[in-house]
Chains A and B, each alone.
Chain A
């Protein structure tokens, strides 16, 4: 089984709808992250959490919210989806290891807002 899972893997929704993307991990890491990826722009950080009680905004948090339900679960919500939130979304986890705070990525969720 994958260490970092994301659900759903693909989602098509309409403008104005509220949706939630979920991330679960079995790596036992405290740190979790949500990124979005757009063509030509690389990965941009939306929110991150260094432990269950610590939630921080990233560089592009407007229009998004998160919930850290447990060490293993970190959810991303779009309160009112808009077309420019169409992107590939990745969840990641990290902890201090031999390769610093290496991040381990989930498989991604492809979101389309029409």
Chain B
């Protein structure tokens, strides 16, 4: 079992709709969670950080964390073509980041 699991996609989302990405993790002691966006051939860039249960909003992005269910999600509202990328979930485990394989999002006009 991978430590951080994501659906690989691609997730096809109409422009203007909400994209919903999910991530589960195995280390119950994990305390910090990140979402990175990565365009093809480029380096990952941080878009969301969350460490408390519940929702955290930043612009069009909302991260949701449920530690009891070991589940973290990312919502992208009003999806734009520029949101087409791979989204990596990352979890701090034993002082290191464990990355999921990423979910590819394709926003269609």
Contact = CB atoms under 8 A, between A and B. Distances in A.
- Tell me whether chain A's interface is mostly helix, strand or loop, or mixed: strand
A48 interface: yes
Contact of A102 (B4, B49, B88): B49
Interface residues of B, number: 22
Nearest to A110: B41
Contact of B96 (A58, A90, A106): A58
Contacts of B49: 99-100, 102
B77 to A, nearest CB: 21
A8 to B, nearest CB: 15
Interface in A62-114: 88, 90, 99-103, 105-108
Contact-residue bracket for chain A: 20 to 34
Interface stretch (B12-20, B66-74, B98-106): B98-106
